[in-house]
């Protein structure tokens, strides 16, 4: 069975601080995909990144970076120099299940960036 754990339910940081959102996943498959999504207060989901299990390279996109470590089954997301617009709920998700792929979401981490 697949499982995604986002242990941090809520995080508050002051603007310009760096913040890391943790994601730990469980799967028995060797081929899988990991995602991060952002859901601002408006409610519309925003796709941030998709990473496959064979690509452990860290990814950087502007102030966002992702650290994928298969050894610890983690796919953590860091926002550098946070801004108020980063306030949102962030979801990590796992797509796996050879033969019948399922997309499993974590419970989400609510990030509040205080000005």
Give contact residues for another protein (rule: CB under 8 A).
43-47, 50, 91, 93, 100-108
User: How far is the C-alpha of 91 from the C-alpha of 106, rounded, in Å?
Assistant: 6
Q: How far is the CB of 83 from another protein (least distance, A)?
A: 22
- Nearer CB in complex with another protein: 60/81: 60
CB of 15 to another protein, least distance (A): 26
Instruction: Name 110's Cβ contacts closer than 8 Å, sequence gap at least 6.
Output: 9, 10, 11, 88, 89
- The answer to whether the Cα torsion of 71, 27, 107, 52 is positive or negative is positive
Cβ-based nearer residue to another protein, 13 or 59: 59
Nearer of residues 79 and 93 to another protein, judged by Cβ: 93
């Amino acid at each position: 069975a697949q499982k995604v754990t986002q242990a941090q339910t809520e995080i508050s940081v002051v603007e310009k601080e760096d913040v890391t959102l943790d994601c730990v996943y469980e799967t028995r498959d060797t081929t899988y995909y990991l995602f991060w999504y952002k859901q601002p207060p408006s409610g519309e989901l925003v796709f941030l990144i998709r990473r496959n299990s064979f690509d452990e390279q860290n990814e950087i996109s502007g102030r966002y970076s992702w650290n994928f470590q298969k050894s610890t089954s983690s796919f953590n997301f860091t926002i550098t120099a946070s801004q108020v617009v980063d306030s949102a709920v962030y979801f990590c998700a796992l797509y796996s299940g050879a033969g019948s792929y399922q997309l499993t979401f974590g419970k989400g981490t609510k990030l509040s960036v205080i000005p």
